[in-house]
Amino acid sequence: MDYDLLITDATILPLADGRSDLIDRGYLAIKGDRIAALGPMRELPAGGKARDTIDGGGNIVMPGLINTHCHAAMTLFRGLADDLPLMEWLNNHIFPAEARFVNAEMVYWCTKLAAAEMIRSGTTCVADGYFHENAAACAFRDTGIRAVAAQGVVDFPAPGVPDPAGNIAAVEQFIDSWQGREPLLTPAIFCHAPYTCSPETLQRGKELARRRGVPFFIHLAETEFEVRESLRQHGVTPTRHLYRLGILDRHTIAAHCVWLNAEDQRLLAETGARVASCPGSNMKLAAGIAPLAELRRNGVVIGLGTDGCASNNNLDLFEEMDLAGKLQKVQHLDPTLLPAQAAIRMATLDGAEALGLAGQIGSLAPGKKADCILLDRKQAHLTPLYGAALLATAANGRDVHTAIINGRVVMRDRRMMLFDETETMARVRELARKVTSPT
Amino acid sequence: MDYDLLITDATILPLADGRSDLIDRGYLAIKGDRIAALGPMRELPAGGKARDTIDGGGNIVMPGLINTHCHAAMTLFRGLADDLPLMEWLNNHIFPAEARFVNAEMVYWCTKLAAAEMIRSGTTCVADGYFHENAAACAFRDTGIRAVAAQGVVDFPAPGVPDPAGNIAAVEQFIDSWQGREPLLTPAIFCHAPYTCSPETLQRGKELARRRGVPFFIHLAETEFEVRESLRQHGVTPTRHLYRLGILDRHTIAAHCVWLNAEDQRLLAETGARVASCPGSNMKLAAGIAPLAELRRNGVVIGLGTDGCASNNNLDLFEEMDLAGKLQKVQHLDPTLLPAQAAIRMATLDGAEALGLAGQIGSLAPGKKADCILLDRKQAHLTPLYGAALLATAANGRDVHTAIINGRVVMRDRRMMLFDETETMARVRELARKVTSPT
Q: What is the DSSP letter of B311?
A: G
Handedness of CA B368, B374, B377, B378 (dihedral sign): positive
What pLDDT score does A295 carry?
Answer: 98
Q: pLDDT tens digits, residue range A185-209? A: 999 999 999 999 999 999 999 999 9
Handedness of CA B381, B386, B387, B392 (dihedral sign): negative
- What's the fold here for domain B65-354? TIM Barrel (3.20.20)
Domain with CATH 3.20.20.140 in chain B: 65-354
Question: Could you tell me if B363 lies within 8 Å of chain A, comparing CB atoms?
Answer: no
Interchain proximity B390–A116, CB inside 8 Å: no
Interchain proximity B335–A84, CB inside 8 Å: yes
A309: left (phi over 0), alpha (psi -120 to 50) or beta: alpha
Among all residues of chain A, which has the CA nearest to that of B120? A380
- In degrees, rounded to 5, the angle at the alpha carbon of residue A359 between the alpha carbons of residues A354 and A365 is 120
What pLDDT score does B358 carry?
Answer: 97
What mean pLDDT do residues A154-170 have? 96
Q: pLDDT tens digits, residue range B209-243? A: 999 999 999 999 999 999 999 999 999 999 999 99
For the domain spanning B3-63+368-414, the CATH number is 2.30.40.10
B398 to chain A nearest CA, in Å?
A: 6
Interchain proximity B384–A82, CB inside 8 Å: no
Band of pLDDT at residue B371, cut at 50, 70 and 90 = very high
Which member of A325, A378, A398 has the closest CB to residue B425? A378
Question: Could you tell me if A394 lies within 8 Å of chain B, comparing CB atoms?
Answer: yes
| Sheet of B302-304, strands arranged across | B65-70, B123-130, B146-153, B185-191, B216-220, B252-256, B274-277, B302-304
What mean pLDDT do residues A137-157 have? 98
Among all residues of chain B, which has the CA nearest to that of A121? B381
Interchain proximity B335–A394, CB inside 8 Å: no
Interchain proximity A330–B288, CB inside 8 Å: yes
In the predicted structure, residue A303 carries a pLDDT above the cut 70: yes
Domain with CATH 2.30.40.10 in chain B: 3-63+368-414
Contact between residue B339 and residue B392 where contact means Cβ atoms under 8 Å apart: no
Interchain proximity B384–A432, CB inside 8 Å: yes
Residues of A in contact with B397 (CB under 8 A): 381, 396
What pLDDT score does B362 carry?
Answer: 98
- What's the fold here for domain A3-63+363-416? Urease, subunit C; domain 1 (2.30.40)
B198 to chain A nearest CA, in Å?
A: 28
Interchain proximity A428–B312, CB inside 8 Å: no
Question: Could you tell me if B112 lies within 8 Å of chain A, comparing CB atoms?
Answer: no
Q: pLDDT tens digits, residue range A119-130? A: 999 999 999 999
List the 181-220 stretch of A: residues with Cβ below 8 A of B.
Answer: none
Q: State the number of CA atoms in the 13 A half-sphere of A283 facing the CB.
A: 25
Interchain proximity A120–B380, CB inside 8 Å: yes
Q: What is the DSSP letter of B89?
A: I
What mean pLDDT do residues A306-330 have? 97
What pLDDT score does A72 carry?
Answer: 98
Residues of B in contact with A377 (CB under 8 A): none
What mean pLDDT do residues B148-154 have? 98
First CA to last CA distance, chain B: 60
